[in-house]
Amino acid sequence: MKAAVVRNVNDGYVDLVDDWQPRALSFGDALVDIEYVGLCHTDLHCANGDFGDPNKIGERNGNFRRVIGHEGVGRVAKLGEGADAYLEVGDRVSIAWFYDACGVCDYCVSGNETFCRKVRNSGYTIDGAMSQQAVVNAKYAVKVPEGLDPVEATSITCAGVTMYKALKVGETKPGEWVSVHGAGGLGNLAVQYAHSVFGAHVAVIDGNDDKLAAAKANGAEVLVNRKKEDVVAKVNELTGGVHNAQVTAVNDAAFSQAVNVLRPMGKLVAVALPQGDMALNIAKTVLDGIEVRGSLVGTRADLKEAFQFGAEGKVKPIVETVAFQDMNDIIDEMKAGSITGRKVIDFTTL
């Protein structure tokens, strides 16, 4: 069985193997025939060992290397004991970064399950979706609406729900201004959810004109090329300062720019995960009552809602299906920042 696994020496790439097997089903598990899996920047972090070597973290299944992938969609092929309380064979389900949690701690019972201290993450602490078959906890595998294109659903499984949740964290309201710093896979969906779901005005900052054009087509009103223009001056001039800034760019400069385009009582929502620290102007933070909030993917409820907006046509991810064997070339494209939207691995052709 084909799978993409983290290399023994974490170098940011994966090995494509054809002898991998999923673990045996435990109580409450389901086996999923994978159809499509999007490649996310977090997969690159995992393959690079930025959070620690995934081959040495979390649960092992007898295989010696971790399978990446957390933007997976597929059909349930087999149910373990107890799984039939949640799923049926043939259901189309998601394999998301939030794999499962303990279900009983303060975070889990208060609607904040993604912060559970015993959380398991697909492609990091447990094998992910980038294989021909994957095992899910049936209780946590969110069903994909039949009216939603499964290729598009992959992006909503991670990038979509991440930005939907982040806009909630930013307390986005109709008619407010939102800035989106980075217009790639996360940023483009941030534009769509902000504009089409929350009814906000959107300013987008990126260094790629094609990505900015795609953002404009999806509802962005202010476009700033960070390589050609003064980001802070232009955004403040055209918006009067934004109510919340969504940082999806994987560089620390974007965080500094985001702070400086906020109006008083504005909220910076940190989504991307570059290495290093965030610089804050203390005077602005204090005198303008600036809030900085981290936003970590979304709960099962968030994902269900995010899927529904996709099924209703309010959000349409930019996706392109690609071959399994081209994965490391796609990683190079992602590292270069040249991808608009998402590249999605097609497992249906294997």
Whether residues 24 and 80 fall in one domain: yes
Residue 74, φ and ψ in degrees, nearest 5: -165, 180
pLDDT at 62 over 80: no
Asked whether residue 108 is assigned to any structural domain, the reply reads yes
Identify the pLDDT of residue 227: 96
Percent of the chain, pLDDT > 70?
99
Asked whether residue 166 is assigned to any structural domain, the reply reads no
Asked whether residue 77 is assigned to any structural domain, the reply reads yes
- H/E stretch holding 308 reads helix 300-311
DSSP line for 24-93 = PP-TTEEEEEEEEEE--HHHHHHHTTBTB-GGGSS---S-SS-B--SEEEEEEEEE-TTGGGT--TT-EE
Whether residues 90 and 130 fall in one domain: yes
Identify the pLDDT of residue 61: 63
pLDDT at 114 over 60: yes
Q: What is the CATH number of the domain that holds 199?
A: 3.40.50.720
Asked whether residue 140 is assigned to any structural domain, the reply reads yes
State the greatest distance between any 2 C-alpha atoms of the chain, in Å, as a whole number. Answer: 60
Whether residues 36 and 49 fall in one domain: yes
Q: What is the pLDDT of residues 226-268, one digit of tens each?
A: 999 999 999 999 999 999 999 999 888 899 999 999 999 999 9
Asked whether residue 163 is assigned to any structural domain, the reply reads no
Q: What span, in angstroms and rounded, lies between the C-alpha atoms of 287 and 296?
A: 27
Asked whether residue 145 is assigned to any structural domain, the reply reads yes
Q: What is the pLDDT of residues 178-224, one digit of tens each?
A: 999 999 889 999 999 999 999 999 999 999 999 999 999 999 999 99
pTM: 0.93
Whether residues 47 and 114 fall in one domain: yes
pLDDT band at 280 (very low <50, low <70, confident <90, very high): confident
Whether residues 33 and 131 fall in one domain: yes
Whether residues 12 and 106 fall in one domain: yes
Identify the pLDDT of residue 64: 74
Q: How many domains does the chain have?
A: 2
Sign of the torsion formed by the C-alpha atoms of 158, 160, 163 and 164: negative
Whether residues 218 and 268 fall in one domain: yes
Whether residues 131 and 234 fall in one domain: no
Residue type, 297: V
pLDDT band at 63 (very low <50, low <70, confident <90, very high): low
Identify the pLDDT of residue 221: 98
Whether residues 133 and 62 fall in one domain: yes
Asked whether residue 164 is assigned to any structural domain, the reply reads no
The Cα-based distances of 160 to 35, 88, 210, 297, 302 in angstroms read: 18, 25, 20, 9, 10
Whether residues 256 and 107 fall in one domain: no
Q: Mean of the per-residue pLDDT values for the chain?
A: 95
Polymer length of the chain: 350
Domain, as residue range, for 114: 3-158+298-346
Burial class (CB in 10 A: 0-12, 13-18, 19+), 70: buried
Q: What is the CATH number of the domain that holds 117?
A: 3.90.180.10
Whether residues 138 and 179 fall in one domain: no
Q: What is the pLDDT of residues 128-138, one digit of tens each?
A: 999 999 999 99
The Cα-based distances of 289 to 73, 115, 167, 194, 243 in angstroms read: 42, 26, 19, 23, 12
Asked whether residue 38 is assigned to any structural domain, the reply reads yes
Whether residues 177 and 72 fall in one domain: no
